[in-house]
Chains A and B, each alone.
Chain A
Amino acid sequence: MTGNEYCRLYAESPDKAYEALFSEYCDYVYAVVYNKLIRTAQREDIDECVSDIFAEFFFSYKRNGSDSGELKGYIGTIAKRRAINAYRSLTLHSERFSGETDEEFASAASDMDVENDSDKRETREILINKINELGEPDSTIILQKYYYDRSSGEIAEMMSMKASAVRMRAARALEKLKKSLAAAGIML
């Protein structure tokens, strides 16, 4: 969605513009927030953060009608900033996460500094490439199942498939991915 498209929708109906924006970028914004917060936050914190991001966009975006660029960059910036702020706010108070140890916090904090962690960066790059090589729908299913931690039933609903088929594909795809990664020297 471009800025101009958003403005046109807004002029027609602000509600419509908001819902179209949400529909277009919900998955992306959720991915950004989940990626940053999943190790420290509760699901409700992630949901709150996502809903805040769309509200902030609505508040801050200047609808001047001359923005032909995609809004993804703009909302992505808000999402990253808010996710990091939420992370900092949440990790300030370890009592909220009594299930985690100080070491885990330290580990999570150091993970934020990706520039100093080239090994992990390289591993992630290989991993995501191998996942993509699985092809669709397996690459999506494997992320939904083993990264987003969704059940086969939920994935089935999202992918319009049968849960049993999801289960079968996920298991097979995971095995395939493990072999593929093992060949690259990475163990899952």
Chain B
Amino acid sequence: MRKDRVLDMLDNAEDKIVDRLSVPALTEKEKERLLKMSKDKLDKMNDNNTDDMTEEVRGVEKYRRPRWSTFAAIAAAVVLVGGLAGGGVLLSRHSSNSKGNDESVVDPVIATQPATETATEAASAASTEASTAKTENTTVAAAASPVESTAAAVGSNEEDNRDHSAVAVDLMKAMNAIELASSGGLTIDGNSPLASENGYYKVIDGNINGFDFSTMANVRSFLTDNFSGSFYDEHSYLTEGSEPFFKEGPDGLYARFAGRGNIYSWDKYEPEIISDSEDRFTARAYYEIAGSVTQVDMTIIKNGGKWRVDSAVREDVTGSEQNETENNNSVSYVQLCKDLVNNKWNELNSTEGNAYVDVAFNDLDGDGSPEFLFKYGTGEVNYKVDVYTFKDGSLKYVADIHGGHASFGIDASTKKLVMINGHMGSGEYDWYTMENGELKMLKYESFSYEYWGSNEQTTRKDILYMSSGTMFTVGDGNAKSYLYTQSPIDQQPASTEYDYYNTEIIDLTYAEALKSGRIPEGD
């Protein structure tokens, strides 16, 4: 979390204050990502319920569970189930809404015959299960294990001597199942709320990927069978506390709509064992949600002959998998630039005071690795720009440019550096490039102006300010430097910045910065 949330006293505010905090706080891309996340989540829940259920029938409706394109119909369908179970009152109302989704919802009348049979069986099974739940306590452990899992074959008193990878895979499946169960994966009857407490609905299908979460005893056995230590604690909210996710009702298990986000959402079960001992090992695996890749290190320990997930440490590693070498270089590149700036800043302040620094990146030689442009000094007259290139893991000094009364600009067509000089009504544009490791001024052009204004625009629309940013003092007295670069699109200066010293963004690798648009690409 960043430290400069000046207005953090507004946290945990009253409703009327929160109303007034409702301003655009997300970019369009972020909103799109959130929307996609929501849709993906429901698709996933839907897929999970679809397995082995293509002919599933609830009440008198048969559902072909589609992808997001008809996600809305799915949500409606769950409500519809309740309506029908409650006497069919909602049938006509919802079926009219469903007509626009002919592919996803079969006409209720057509589905009536087969539905009745299955519904009866299901009701009978549910009834039997509810009535015998207490007597089944000693055997529910098996019921809470995946039917086809090899783990299920290991009795509670037997030593589990399977390969660690196989153990990890089974436990990952368990992690995924409980996440799905607690993030909306259960089929619950929206029209059968728990009378004694708001927010709980009757679980009408507790099967998640072969794990049976249809009774409280099963859920508890599942947790104690598969998890221990802090990982068990992380999931204790499911059954414990004043508002647990699951609650026993008079006629079976009830649950909230969703407990938390679907965290351990593995796309594949391919754990890598990164440390190993007789009774403890660590498995590493990755999952991806909405483009974000999370690395999970699971500590799995053996206790009483049985393996359980004891802890799991998550780390966002988005973008770091594909090109490790590039990122390593990028990290060192950014770090070298940062060190250079820090050292010069300290040097100037200690010797002369009034230090000024300004930085930019521009791919002057067109090799795909931008040069580092470092402007510094103690006054407009002595500002200079040192140009560095990154070669063989180090910064190489190339040349310097006069930087007094000058700003970094970019040619909108070539995307290369143009120094914008201006003072007392006259100015000059200097176009630069790099060839064979040498900096060259391609051309220059003089101009005059009456008033430079707010420094927002140049006199030529094809010359844009590329960067700005300087060391300055902020409210808390700490010096900060911001680097920002400007999109080289004429009149569309969507620039971004990052705090060079104090925030998490400082850890962005160069590749990540490029990817996120924080540094414009050279094309």
Name A's B-contacting residues (CB within 8 A). Answer: 10-15, 17-19, 22-23, 26-28, 30-32, 34-36, 38-39, 44-45, 47-52, 54-56, 58-60, 62-64, 76, 80-81, 85-86, 88-89, 92-93, 95-96, 99, 108, 111-112, 114, 120-121, 123-125, 127-128, 131-132, 140, 142-144, 146-154, 156-159, 162-165, 167-168, 174, 178, 188
CB-nearest residue of chain B to A136: B23
Closest-CB distance, A139 to chain B (whole angstroms): 8
A31 touches B27 (CB 8 A): no
Distance between B82 CB and nearest chain A CB, rounded to angstroms: 10
In angstroms, how far is the closest chain A Cβ from the Cβ of B121? 26
Q: Does B6 sit at the interface, judged by CB under 8 A?
A: yes
Q: Is the CB of B42 within 8 A of A55?
A: yes
19 pairs, A vs B, C-beta closer than 8 Å: A30-B26, A31-B19, A31-B21, A31-B23, A44-B292, A45-B261, A48-B37, A59-B190, A64-B93, A85-B243, A85-B259, A92-B236, A92-B237, A140-B24, A142-B7, A156-B493, A158-B24, A159-B24, A163-B486
Q: By the criterion CB–CB under 8 Å, are B18 and A174 in contact?
A: no
B496 within 8 A of A: yes
Mostly, the A contact residues are helix
Q: Which of A14, A17, A26, A47 has the most CB of B within 10 A?
A: A14
Residues on A with beta carbons closer than 8 Å to the beta carbon of B19: 28, 31
Q: How far is it, in angstroms, between the C-alpha of A55 and the C-alpha of B415 when the chains are bound?
A: 44
Measured CB to CB, the closest approach of chain B to A103, in angstroms, equals 16
A146:B23 contact, CB within 8 angstroms: no
Contact A52 B258 (CB under 8 A): yes
Query: Is residue B495 within 8 Å, beta carbon to beta carbon, of the partner chain?
Result: yes
Tell me the smallest distance from the CB of A185 to a CB of chain B, in Å.
14
Complex contact B233–A17 (CB within 8 A): no
Residues of chain B with a CB closer than 8 A to A54's CB: 38
10 new A-B contacts, CB < 8 A, other than A28-B19, A31-B23, A174-B475, are A22-B38, A85-B259, A99-B1, A112-B12, A124-B10, A128-B17, A143-B23, A158-B24, A164-B455, A164-B465
Taking a contact as CB atoms under 8 Å apart, the answer to whether B24 and A163 are in contact is: no
Q: A18-B72, A50-B34, A188-B6 are in contact. Are A157 and B230 (CB under 8 A)?
A: no
Residues of A within 8 A of B465 (CB): 164
Q: How far is the CA of A117 from the CA of B455 in the complex (A)?
A: 46
Q: Considering the chains assembled together, what is the distance between the CA atoms of A19 and B35 in angstroms?
A: 8
Nearest first, the 9 A-B pairs at minimum CB distance are A14-B72, A48-B261, A153-B496, A51-B38, A163-B495, A146-B6, A147-B7, A111-B12, A148-B25
Selected contact of A128 from candidates B10, B75, B256, B258, CB within 8 Å: B10
**Cβ–Cβ < 8 Å partners of A93 in chain B:** 230, 233-234
A43 CB to closest chain B CB (Å) equals 9
| Residues in chain A near residue B184, CB distance under 8 A | 52, 55, 59
User: B494: CB under 8 A from chain A?
Assistant: yes
CA distance A143 to B5 in the complex (A): 10
Q: How far is the CA of A56 from the CA of B190 in the complex (A)?
A: 11
The secondary-structure label for the interface of chain B is mixed
B9 at the interface (CB under 8 A from A): yes
Max chain B C-beta neighbours (<10 A), residue from A30, A121, A178: A30
How many residues of chain B have a CB within 8 Å of chain A? 87
Q: In the complex, which residues of chain A have a beta carbon less than 8 angstroms from the beta carbon of B14?
A: 114, 121, 124
Q: Do B34 and A28 have beta carbons less than 8 Å apart?
A: no
Give the complex CA separation of A131 and B96 in angstroms: 48
Asked if A56 and B258 make an inter-chain contact with CB atoms under 8 angstroms apart, the answer reads yes
B134: interface (CB < 8 Å): no
Q: State whether A164 touches B456 (Cβ < 8 A).
A: yes
Q: How far, in Å, is A56 (CB) from chain B's closest CB?
A: 5
Give the chain A neighbours of B468 by CB distance below 8 A.
164
* Chain B residue, CB-CB nearest to A153: B496
Q: Contact check: which of B5, B493, B518 meets A162 at CB < 8 Å?
A: B493
Q: Of A64, A120, A167, A174, which is within 8 A of B9 by CB?
A: A120
Closest residue of B by beta carbon distance from A7: B97
Q: Which of B5, B234, B257, B475 contacts A147 (CB 8 A)?
A: B5
- Min C-beta distance of A161 to chain B, whole Å: 9
Say whether B70 faces chain A, with CB atoms less than 8 Å apart: yes
Contact: B25 with A144, CB < 8 Å? yes
Residues of A within 8 A of B97 (CB): 10-11, 63
Decide: A38 and B101 in contact? CB cutoff 8 A.
Answer: no
Query: A45: shortest Cβ distance to chain B, in Å?
Result: 7
> Mask for B496-523, Cβ within 8 A of A = 1, else 0?
1110000001000000000000100000
Is A127 a contact of B9 with CB atoms below 8 Å? Answer: yes
Q: Which residues of chain B are within 8 angstroms of A11 by Cβ–Cβ distance?
A: 96-97, 100
Bound together, the chains give a CA A116 to CA B100 distance in angstroms of 51
Are B495 and A162 in contact, with the CB atoms below 8 A? yes
Report how far A29 CA is from B1 CA in the complex, Å: 20
Q: Of the candidates B23, B256, B454, B505, which one forms a contact with A27 in the assembled complex, judged by CB atoms under 8 Å apart?
A: B23
- A99-B23 Cα distance, complex, nearest whole Å: 29
What residues of B have a CB within 8 angstroms of the CB of A76 in the complex? 15
Q: A111-B11, A178-B475 are in contact. Are A140 and B23 (CB under 8 A)?
A: yes
A89 to B237, CA, bound (A): 7
Contacts of B22 in A (CB 8 A): 27-28, 31
Within 8 A of A (CB), among B3-61: 4-15, 17-28, 31, 33-35, 37-38, 41-42
